[in-house]
Structure 1
Amino acid sequence: MHLPLKKFSLLLFLVTLGFYSKAQTVTGLGTYLTPQEAKKLYTDTIVRHTPFRPYVLNNSDSLLLAKDSSVHKTWLGRKTFDEHLLQVVNPEYKIYLDFLPDFQIGSDLKNNRTTWVNTRGFMLGGSIGKNFSFYTSFYENQGVFPVYVDNYTRGINVLPGQGEVRNYGDHGLDYSYSQGRISYTPSKYFNFDLGYDKNFIGDGYRSLLLSDAAAPYPYVKITATIWKLRYMMMWAQMIDRESPKLDYQNGYRKKWGAFHYLDWNISKKVSVGLFENIIWMDADSLGKRGFDWSYLNPLLFFRPVEFANGSPDKALVGLTAKYKMLPKFTWYGQFALNEFTASEFFSGDGYWANKWGTQIGFRSFDIFGIPNLHFQGEANIVRPYTYTARIPIVEGVAVPNNGKPTNNYVHFSQPLAHLWGANFEEFLGIVNYTWRRFDVRGQFTYGYYGRDPEGLNYGKNILKPYDTRVSDYGNYIGQGITSHLYYGDIKIAYVLNPKYNLRFETGLTYRNEKNDASPSNTTIVSVGLRSSFRNLYYDF
């Protein structure tokens, strides 16, 4: 039994009207966390379920809710430095509206290219009573990007984490996208969330389970909190841009995702979590499959349901863990398992179907006793072919599909987990320092991975089906065109208005990719006026 696609799509489309719950997340704006908010989450004496982003708050969690304060007396001073552009405050409801500029200009020095971004966005949100709130934002953009970002974007015709692009001038791109949420928290036990947005599971900078690296998508989510447990159930609709369109009216093919995540605070220091996901195709050459009611199962363990249905759907399971070793020092980790063969898992012979990834990292706050000086270190390792799927097969025959799978762990041509796909090792460090309204952020990343030569599949590009793998055995991280990436980025900003993160910002980025096929080296300087609660990743 299947839910008609048009009715379900219409239901989810309504959320683009933009609703969001202030009682649901720290920042009020999705997966973005400021350093101060992260510090509150991880150093507070209250034991919190930190792997959820947007973070689900109970009504009593006032510590993490933004406070209204004004230090300027004039209207212009308040609007520039303290308040929303327009706001209506009433005992029964609050409404705010902000203009979100992102005006940047810079230079890709090694490639002699002037870079710029011209973004005009708006944000509308508010709350009604204590339990219901709303949020929406829309961005219209044009820009010229560094060569490595431009090449990646034109390869998939999508700017990472944002939208489909069109040509603009000689080297420019034109694109737009929107986000929105409806959230209702009737009690401290439940939160109901409908949105067209992103979600993130984990304590790290990256997530190997579900990240915010891809474009927004429509979803329905229920979060339940009881005792020391928090349980999330989510159903989402994804876009498969690699398959041929069904027809002009239906546009790109769709696929569905069902997600479960259970987080258990065992003690004040230790937390563990269980994650599972199923991705299934919406349509094949024989017609539409639609929403599979079997995956409305609200309990953990999809795999038995999938097996009972004789289903070819793609499963991903995972574990998370967190250990608060010191009041201001926390270890965290993840393990993602896409597929494995028990007899081959510990053999060390590089069997292709042992597809897994692991993460370990830490967060440290007020290091060296310096207030608001924070450091985060993280390592991510993902084996070749992880997150990939096979070419669809119907009645024993491969479905013509441009040689691409449809139920891989991908949305809108972008990975749903780590932006790098698979077949890599990554080590990164991030330092943040805040003094009054000055904010400094530095990041250094070293990556080791194997790129795919023309016409071959060594397991990094998860858009490719694993049917086209080079070999069954001898698959190790770095196979293919062995590459080393050195990435450094520093940004210095003065925050004009924390209400909508309006800031003057200047930055310096260094990127050096070394390999024997197509090495690249670039240095980028930029300056601009920005207002953003978005996590946009260009460190690839």
Structure 2
Amino acid sequence: MQMAVAQSEYQPYSFQFYQKFSDDLYSRDTRIHTSIAPYFVDDSLLKKKYDSLMNVGVKTRTTWLGRKLFNEHQIDVKGNNYTLYGDFLPDVSVGRDFSNHANVWNTTIGYQMGGNVGKQFSFYGSIYENKAQFPAYITNEINSTYYIPGEGKDNNPGQNVKNWLYTSFLLSYTPVKYVNFSLGKDKTFIGDGYRSMLLSDFASNYPFFKITATLGNVRYMTMYAFMDDPNAPQVPNSNSTRKKWAYFQYVDWNVSKRFSVGLFQNVMAVTRDSTGQRRGFDPSLASPFILLSVMNNSENDPDKNLLGLTSKFKLFNKTIIYGQFALNEFRAQDFFSSDGSYTNKFGFQLGVRGADLFNVKGLNYLGEYNSARPYTYSSFDQTSNYSQDDQPLADPFGANFREWVGILNYSAGRFDFQGQFDYAYFGLDLNGADYGQNIFISYNKAVHIYGNYIGQGLSTNYYYGQGKVSYLLNPKYNLRLEFSALFRDEKNSVFNAKTSMITIGLRSSFRNIYTDF
């Protein structure tokens, strides 16, 4: 008789899917660590919820085709000491951008495979071949960076129709219950919000090695990653794009069932400085002990340090308030003054979220405010800015912005309804001058040394609203029919860019694909 292996499940990060755990994650009766994602679903409470989500609305089907279409992985093998699953992932949609009188569409063919060997080793991999015609605002962004936001390199630069490849993989080893080693190409998200001011999943996947350890109420993560800044100026003696090592440490402490606090640190270290001098992996920066790296406030040092704080408080049962604070290049005389120095770089987040609003089961909500001063994530050396593949590693608006986000989601059986509204106020560069929103420009070109403020430059208002209705066909790989209506308006004294769009499609996978920027 074959038995399934008792093994934790790796669940790729998706805000839309993860928020379905909110009633358990934010219950006053639990002390689950929630601020490091993706999760391994090994906690008994999460596992119970995960299993229910993987079997939501399932009806007993006796035919092989019925099970494969609606209940199971397409390949699903369970042995005495291993499991293996695999799926073909179609992702196709068509729509119309009414504001710009253009059709939009997407054709993606994807594959995933995962499983485990014994109780200690697990693996996951996915690959997607994509072709699409985006709305104008996304096409313009791609043509300026040569990268599909969050996914991969544009293989059709300058063209309206884009094609690209998206890949991810993970190898995981858990020698003892509370320690995990992971090697892969993926993303990590820090925080409890929709956005993260410290480390989000907006940028493309990157290769990394990560260690996570849990001791009682403390969870610790250290991660070493290798990132790219393809549009930074080239350096002597090198024909390759500009690359950088990224060192991360984060510790999350559940002080009580209601309150937790976290401490975050990052160092970006270029592989070649501006003179072309090669700089290898630095063991001193790779210390697994947080805060052993001194806060770097030297304008001319190519290594840049970002410090952060996170916190969460369970205000009511299933309702939390949460926050983040990010600090770059701390200078006490500027931080504690009101001189508006361009070296006074910080951002913060404040939000509230919860589950079962008005005691309606499955009605989840989030309200969030994010803000970053001009130049917060930039560097004097364009390569050591806080980015990957010319995309921000924190909020997609970069810096010099204020942002309000509201999300409401309701799930009933296999139906899912979501509404989202964003408003942002930010300052764009004007007449070739750097006002601090574009993190890819050296802050040595800052338009002002003092007197900087949020919204300086070309003051711009941004409005975004989206509604989605989906019907889940197969929960194992999130195969669903989805209808979406989107409105976006970005306006200032120079231009007014509008998008009014509807799409309908057959979607799959748990990837986060952002259109709200």
CA 526–283 in structure 1, closer or farther in 2 if over 3 Å, else same: same
Instruction: Indicate the residue corresponding to 1:493 in structure 2.
Output: 470
Distance in 1 separating the partners of 2:135 and 2:237: 33
SS of the residue 1:384 aligns to: coil
Distance in 1 separating the partners of 2:446 and 2:158: 39
Asked if 1:298 is matched to 2:284, the reply is: no
Asked if 1:63 is matched to 2:52, the reply is: no
CA 197–176 in structure 1, closer or farther in 2 if over 3 Å, else same: same
Asked if 1:251 is matched to 2:251, the reply is: no
Distance in 2 separating the partners of 1:245 and 1:351: 29
Distance in 2 separating the partners of 1:22 and 1:153: 40
State the 1:127 CA deviation. 1.2
Asked if 1:330 is matched to 2:330, the reply is: no
Q: Which amino acid aligns with 1:419?
A: P
1:330-378 CA-partner distances (Å, limit 9, x unpaired): 1110000012321222322312111000101111211111110111110
Distance in 2 separating the partners of 1:375 and 1:443: 10
State the 1:205 CA deviation. 0.2
- What is the correspondence of 1:85-484 to structure 2 with a 5 Å cutoff? 85-167=74-156, 171-244=160-233, 251-284=240-273, 285-304=275-294, 312-391=302-381, 405-484=382-461
SS of the residue 2:353 aligns to: strand
1:187-226 CA-partner distances (Å, limit 9, x unpaired): 2220111110011000000000001000000000001100
Distance in 2 separating the partners of 1:304 and 1:378: 31
Asked if 1:49 is matched to 2:33, the reply is: yes
Distance in 2 separating the partners of 1:313 and 1:168: 31
SS of the residue 1:344 aligns to: helix
State the 1:30 CA deviation. 3.6
Q: Is the 8 A contact 2:410 2:417 kept in 1?
A: yes
Distance in 2 separating the partners of 1:455 and 1:220: 39
The correspondence for 1:522, drawn from 473, 496, 499, is 499
SS of the residue 1:295 aligns to: coil
CA 22–315 in structure 1, closer or farther in 2 if over 3 Å, else same: farther
Q: Which amino acid aligns with 1:46?
A: T
SS of the residue 2:210 aligns to: strand
State the 1:477 CA deviation. 0.5
Distance in 2 separating the partners of 1:91 and 1:47: 33
SS of the residue 1:40 aligns to: helix
Q: Is the 8 A contact 1:31 1:535 kept in 2?
A: yes
State the 1:45 CA deviation. 2.6
Distance in 1 separating the partners of 2:450 and 2:235: 37
SS of the residue 1:80 aligns to: helix
Q: Is the 8 A contact 1:294 1:305 kept in 2?
A: no
SS of the residue 2:383 aligns to: coil
State the 1:65 CA deviation. 4.3
Distance in 1 separating the partners of 2:157 and 2:450: 45
Q: Is the 8 A contact 2:145 2:231 kept in 1?
A: no
Instruction: Indicate the residue corresponding to 1:14 in structure 2.
Output: none
Distance in 1 separating the partners of 2:24 and 2:482: 24
Instruction: Indicate the residue corresponding to 1:39 in structure 2.
Output: 23
1:445-475 CA-partner distances (Å, limit 9, x unpaired): 0100001114110000000010000011111
Bigger Cα displacement from structure 2, 345-354 vs 119-128: 345-354
Distance in 2 separating the partners of 1:322 and 1:60: 22
Distance in 2 separating the partners of 1:307 and 1:519: 39
State the 1:43 CA deviation. 2.7
Q: Is the 8 A contact 1:133 1:183 kept in 2?
A: yes
Distance in 2 separating the partners of 1:473 and 1:440: 47
Bigger Cα displacement from structure 2, 281-290 vs 108-117: 281-290
Q: Is the 8 A contact 2:13 2:512 kept in 1?
A: no
Q: Is the 8 A contact 2:7 2:119 kept in 1?
A: no
Distance in 1 separating the partners of 2:86 and 2:264: 36
Q: Which amino acid aligns with 1:462?
A: I
Q: Which amino acid aligns with 2:501?
A: I
Distance in 1 separating the partners of 2:376 and 2:26: 31
Distance in 1 separating the partners of 2:276 and 2:196: 35
State the 1:40 CA deviation. 2.9
Distance in 1 separating the partners of 2:158 and 2:391: 25
Q: Is the 8 A contact 2:406 2:421 kept in 1?
A: yes
Q: Is the 8 A contact 2:151 2:165 kept in 1?
A: yes
Q: Is the 8 A contact 1:58 1:188 kept in 2?
A: no
1:61-87 CA-partner distances (Å, limit 9, x unpaired): 533543675622211111111001111
SS of the residue 2:138 aligns to: helix
Q: Can you give the 5+ residue segments of structure 2 that lack an aligned partner in the other structure?
A: 1-5
Q: What is the TM-score when the length of structure 2 is the normalising length?
A: 0.93
Distance in 2 separating the partners of 1:24 and 1:316: 32
State the 1:245 CA deviation. 5.3
Instruction: Indicate the residue corresponding to 1:29 in structure 2.
Output: 12
Distance in 2 separating the partners of 1:390 and 1:344: 18
State the 1:302 CA deviation. 3.8
Q: Which amino acid aligns with 2:69?
A: T
Asked if 1:513 is matched to 2:498, the reply is: no
Identity %: 46
Q: Is the 8 A contact 1:270 1:324 kept in 2?
A: yes
Q: Which amino acid aligns with 2:321?
A: W
**Count of aligned positions:** 504
State the 1:168 CA deviation. 8.4
Instruction: Indicate the residue corresponding to 2:3 in structure 1.
Output: none
Bigger Cα displacement from structure 2, 73-82 vs 56-65: 56-65
1:1-20 CA-partner distances (Å, limit 9, x unpaired): xxxxxxxxxxxxxxxxxxxx
Distance in 2 separating the partners of 1:265 and 1:274: 12
Q: Is the 8 A contact 1:184 1:193 kept in 2?
A: yes
